[in-house]
Amino acid sequence: MEASIMDGTTMGCGSVCGLSTVVNPISLARIVMEKTPHIYLAFNAAEAFARDQGVETMDPSHFITEENLERLGQAKEANRVQAMEGQPPIDDNSRTGTVGCVAVDLSGNLASATSTGGVVNKMAGRIGDTPIIGAGTYANTLCAVSATGKGEAIIRHTVARDVAALVEHRGLSLQEAAERVVAAVPRGSFGLVAVSGAGEVTMPFNTAGMFRACAADSGYSEVGIWPDADGDAGGES
């Protein structure tokens, strides 16, 4: 499992990856941010650090569900077929996801956090976009962003940072910036949730659907999976 967290006010960040026994990876990421001189700890060392810090751990089997075992079986089978045809393994993330949250508080402080188990049947040691600051997670004093989808696409497009950069350098609104980043890539790549310091929310995606929800001080709230009826992704400005 891997996760990252970022504090938009201090620009502090924490990341972890390669975890297999920590119950809440995101909390470990936060501890890395707040209690170590580093930003990013991985694999065995992150596990050892977790024990050092006394965070809750469980046997790796705690995290494994029957459903995912079945998915893994299917994925391996599909790859086997691919391999027989001489093609590289497919990276199909279509039915699993990452989770994330972005928020702005009453004082205008922003923060973002993202966490995942990664791709089904990923190569051991594969790190996705989720623990990479600027890719899956980003927050500054203008906005907070958390992305989900094809990890490799999110990394190369530095998605979370790009949304913030458009707001900052081009003066786009949060919604414009977010939609632009999502529209610039092939369909089926990724989606994101973002909030701005002014309390706006936007949740664009170019995949078939994105599990999402949002709520604002104004009383507006929404939970969704598919694109809205009028074709727009959810959100309120």
Report the candidate in 7, 227, 11 with the shortest Cα–Cα distance to residue 103: 7
Give the shortest CB-184-to-another protein separation in angstroms.
11
Three-state DSSP class for 135? coil
Give the active site residue among 98, 130, 137, 207.
98
List the one residue from 5, 29, 113, 166 that touches another protein (CB under 8 A): 166
Give the shortest CB-98-to-another protein separation in angstroms.
15
Q: Please report whether residue 205 would count as binding another protein according to CB under 8 A.
A: no
Binding mask 17-56 for another protein (x = CB under 8 A): xx-----------------xxxxxxxxxxx-xx-------
Integer Cα distance of 225 and 32 in angstroms: 33
Give the shortest CB-89-to-another protein separation in angstroms.
5
| 21, 45, 114, 118, 190 from 4: Cα distances, Å | 17, 16, 6, 13, 18
Query: Other C-beta atoms within 10 Å of 31: how many?
Result: 20
Q: Please report whether residue 169 would count as binding another protein according to CB under 8 A.
A: yes
| 168, 197, 232 from 226: Cα distances, Å | 30, 27, 10
Task: Select 156 or 220, whichever has its Cβ closest to another protein.
Answer: 156
Q: Please report whether residue 91 would count as binding another protein according to CB under 8 A.
A: yes
Active site residue 98: yes
Give the shortest CB-199-to-another protein separation in angstroms.
24
8-state DSSP, 123: P
Report the candidate in 145, 171, 173, 142 with the shortest Cα–Cα distance to residue 157: 145
Give the shortest CB-46-to-another protein separation in angstroms.
6
Report the candidate in 125, 98, 107 with the shortest Cα–Cα distance to residue 4: 98
List the one residue from 122, 141, 142, 236 that touches another protein (CB under 8 A): 122
Chain centroid to Cα 219, Å, comes to: 26
Residues tagged active-site: 98
**Contacts with another protein, residue ranges (CB under 8 A):** 6, 11-13, 15, 17-18, 36-46, 48-49, 88-91, 119, 122-128, 132-135, 138, 151-152, 155-158, 161-162, 165-166, 169-170
